[in-house]
């Protein structure tokens, strides 16, 4: 889109005073400030819509994968030279997520067409297909503006069991020009719901490679000695620590792993779980039932510093997901965090996990619900310390070279610019050759 100067009648943006010494300014869209340079010629104007942003000041360690992806991707697109980004987001805590999301999504019925029409948007990018549900009602009106519509599909946002949700989703997907599933498994769930393969483009999640820049596998436990919540036991021989990170829900397989795998492992192998969620009670009971209180620790929600410490202290990351109807692991950002921290992963050969773990590079796969298969994989990795050290370094390098946000965001920017140039795009746009990846 060729962008005119600020300040003219009908301008899409309202300028605020500079925010930084470098001249960054804030633009408000739907009341949400965005730090950004003034628009330039030839940029693609993208409206980023998300119902999953955290409240200001919320610890990023307490975000789910979908939330973190929305925040990180919006920041990378905002900084991209070819993208002029605006945000329309809902900021909410986990406890208020459902009512806030319902209100936000319903509000899009009236707000979205007006924003697009007034602001000369090229592409609307939804951070999750949950947010596209209003298109079931306003999709035709939005199409008449000429704007292009894209959405990211994660997994559970596609497979949610509610029949009413599924009915709205199928109708809404018919008004989306391009869907970006985060894995091949998620892509197949979209095709099963009638989305043509030509409208589906798999783009993985990314990770900030500087986030755990100081993390190093088994860097030493001195920095954890005073932290009773994330410190290894000091009595007896040093244990070998398995680590899982994630929301405590059935599909993560934590309770299954404690019940079926931990009793098969030697007593010096311990298991830590970082996270909270509705399955906490089941997990705690399973630990007590199998008398594993001395070997299994559920650490709950932790700070960013504590999370980094847990990654440093652990020997191996485990992702023991189990298949659950109407639920799925669309990707698994925590495996990127683990790899970046120098942790090799043993994971279930299941769903989107297959797109994250490259067997022999950053991890090894075992059949889901195969307790003996997990036991063998884990003991094989823990039994050769020199090899595990080498694989830990390789895992970090693989994640940096494959999933760095700068690399992934460039792919998004190219796809969005190309989409904006498709015939029939925004009536305000002038033709533009998309940049190469």
pTM, two decimal places: 0.84
Cα dihedral angle (36, 416, 189, 165), rounded to 10 degrees?
60
Rounded Cα–Cα distance for residues 265 and 282 (Å): 21
Buried-state track 15-43, b at ≥16 Cβ within 10 A, e below 16? eeeeeeeeeebbbebbebebebeebeebb
Q: Is 369 exposed, middle or buried (0-12, 13-18, 19+ CB in 10 A)?
A: middle
Give dist(CA 16, CA 24) in Å, integer. 10
The CATH code belonging to domain 222-402 is: 3.40.50.2000
For residues 323 and 367, give the distance between their C-alpha atoms in angstroms, rounded to a whole number: 11
* pLDDT by position in tens, the chain (length 437): 323 322 222 223 333 333 222 222 233 333 344 333 344 557 999 999 999 888 776 655 446 678 889 999 999 999 999 999 999 999 877 667 778 889 999 999 999 999 998 878 999 999 999 999 999 999 999 999 999 999 999 999 999 999 999 999 999 999 999 999 999 999 999 999 999 999 999 999 999 999 886 555 554 443 443 444 555 444 456 899 999 999 999 999 999 999 999 999 999 999 999 999 999 999 999 999 999 999 999 999 999 899 999 999 999 999 999 999 999 999 999 999 999 999 999 999 999 999 999 999 999 999 999 999 999 999 999 999 999 999 999 999 999 999 999 999 999 999 999 999 975 444 333 333 333 32
Q: Measuring CA to CA, which residue among 319, 324, 368, 323 is closest to residue 339?
A: 319
Crossing angle of helices 405-421 and 65-79, rounded to 10°: 70
* Half-sphere exposure (Cβ direction) of 173: Cα atoms closer than 13 Å: 28
Residue intervals in the chain for CATH 3.40.50.2000: 25-206+404-421, 222-402
- Listed residue (144, 85, 136, 127) closest to 109, CA to CA: 136
Residues contacting 94, CB < 8 A, separation 6+: 62, 64
**Superfamily name with CATH number, domain 25-206+404-421:** Glycogen Phosphorylase B; (3.40.50.2000)
Residue 301's Cα: distance from chain center in Å? 17
């Amino acid at each position: 889109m060729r962008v005119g100067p600020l300040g003219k009648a009908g301008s899409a943006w309202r300028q605020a005073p500079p925010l930084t010494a470098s001249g960054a300014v804030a633009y408000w869209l739907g009341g949400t400030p965005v730090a950004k340079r003034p628009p330039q010629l030839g940029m693609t104007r993208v409206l980023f819509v998300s119902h999953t942003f955290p409240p200001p000041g919320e610890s990023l360690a307490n975000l789910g994968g979908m939330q973190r992806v929305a925040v990180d991707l919006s920041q990378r697109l905002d900084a991209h030279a070819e993208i002029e980004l605006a945000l329309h987001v809902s900021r909410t805590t986990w406890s208020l997520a459902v009512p806030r999301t319902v209100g936000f999504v319903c509000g899009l019925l009236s707000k979205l067409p007006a924003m697009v029409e007034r602001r000369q948007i090229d592409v609307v990018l939804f951070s999750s297909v949950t947010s596209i549900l209003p298109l079931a009602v306003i999709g035709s009106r939005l199409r008449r503006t000429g704007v292009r519509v894209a959405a990211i599909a994660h997994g559970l946002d596609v497979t949610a069991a509610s029949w009413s949700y599924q009915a709205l989703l199928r109708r809404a997907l018919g008004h989306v020009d391009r869907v970006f599933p985060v894995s091949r498994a998620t892509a197949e769930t979209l095709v099963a719901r009638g989305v043509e393969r030509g409208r589906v483009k798999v783009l993985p999640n990314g990770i900030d490679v500087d986030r755990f820049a100081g993390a190093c596998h088994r860097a030493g436990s001195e920095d954890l000695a005073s932290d009773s919540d994330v410190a290894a036991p000091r009595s007896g021989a040093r244990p070998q620590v398995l680590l899982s990170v994630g929301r405590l829900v059935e599909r993560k397989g934590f309770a299954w792993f404690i019940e079926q795998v931990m009793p098969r492992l030697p007593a010096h192998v311990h298991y830590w779980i970082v996270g909270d969620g509705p399955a906490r009670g089941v997990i705690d009971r399973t630990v007590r039932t199998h008398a594993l209180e001395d070997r299994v620790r559920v650490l709950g929600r932790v700070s960013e510093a504590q999370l980094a410490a847990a990654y440093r202290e652990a020997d191996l990351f485990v992702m023991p997901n189990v298949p659950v109807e109407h639920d799925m692991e669309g990707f698994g950002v925590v495996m990127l965090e683990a790899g970046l921290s120098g942790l090799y992963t043993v994971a279930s050969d299941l769903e989107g996990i297959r797109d994250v773990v490259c067997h022999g590079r950053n991890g090894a796969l075992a059949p889901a619900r195969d307790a003996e298969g997990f036991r063998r994989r884990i003991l094989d990795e823990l039994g050769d310390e020199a090899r595990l050290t080498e694989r830990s370094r390789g895992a970090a390098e693989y994640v940096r070279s494959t999933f760095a946000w700068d690399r992934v965001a460039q792919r998004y920017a190219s796809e969005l610019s190309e989409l904006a140039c498709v015939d029939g795009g925004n009536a305000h746009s002038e033709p533009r050759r998309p940049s190469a990846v």
